[in-house]
Amino acid sequence: MMKDRVAILVPGYINPRVIARLSDSFDIVAVPHGATLDISDEEAALVRGIAVSGALPASWIARLPNLEIISNFGVGYDGVDVGAAVARGIMVTNSPDVLNDEVADTTVALLINTVRQLPQAEAWLRQGRWTSEGHFPLTPLSLKGRHVGLQGLGRIGIEIARRLEPFKVKISYHTRRPRADVSYGYHASLLSLAEEVDTLISIVPKTPETTGSINAEVLKALGPRGVLINVGRGTTVDEAALVSALKDGTIAAAGLDVFANEPQVPQELLGLPNVSLLPHVASASIPTRDAMADLVVDNLISWFSTGKVLTPVSEMLQESA
């Protein structure tokens, strides 16, 4: 317990473990998410930290004159206006690494579900169709002999690649710069990667460069045996182009855990037989989410105890370089 309890703003919903642990050391100012931060100037002046899951616009940051740190729940932090924080000298942290294994495991499972149609096969059994209609139809696709391309080979991407190696698939990747520590084939552009592979896994954050990057041209390059798996950000994929590609056979199938306008999923995707859809659950196990929650709180405790954090976002490292 620190000598003086610091006020931490918590906008909207966050994992309950964050609240439980924050309560031990901090005063919590809980507010609803919204366009504006609805607290008094007196309350705003007391806030020195934020624990957030989701959006945190510049207008909110501007309302808090004594804000020192924003601790983000999740490895992705595109909802936080980091530029506004940097301009004020405010520390921003996220919760990487503790979810790498869970997301990588889910990605491989989603890929297998997509090519082998295992959810559809289970539904066939549960609906009694095995008894009434016979065996589930042979799946047109298999993981065997595939060439997998990764859009993104960061912390999670490398864990996905390592899990895929025992499946005896060929692996290539596209990032802004090649990695010296891997032997996978490198492609300087996403289009070049799509032309070379028949399976594309996207695990990139939301940036101006990645938004809409998996478009009609990339899907066409992936080809009629092509499979798209997206566990990064829904905004990476042009969803209208994807629906068209799945309908007309431009690609064979897709597995998606993320969508552009969550929790809204395009109705056209829901009606397609060649997609496997998950409600953004790649890291959604209790052990993994507990670890993420602990990192959110531990960053705040460390900052107000020592002036240092455990996991600053990359922009913070650039500022101190």
List the catalytic residues.
Answer: 233, 262, 280
User: Do 6 and 26 form a contact (C-beta atoms < 8 A)?
Assistant: yes
SS3 172: strand
Closest CA to 89 of 312, 296, 300: 312
Across 91-105, b (16+ Cβ under 10 Å) vs e yields: bbbbbbebbbebbbb
Dmax (CA) for the chain in angstroms is 70
Q: What DSSP state is assigned to residue 138?
A: P
β pairing state of 91-93 and 47-52 = unpaired
Beginning with the edge strand found earlier in the chain, give each strand of the sheet holding 227-230 in spatial order: 185-187, 170-174, 147-151, 199-202, 227-230, 253-256, 275-277
The sign of the torsion formed by the CA atoms of 250, 256, 262, 263 equals positive
- 161: enclosing H helix or E strand: helix 155-164
Residues 6+ apart with CB under 8 A from 106: 231, 257, 278, 281, 282, 283
Distance of alpha carbon 246 from its chain centroid, rounded? Answer: 23
> Contact, 111 vs 304, CB < 8 A?
no
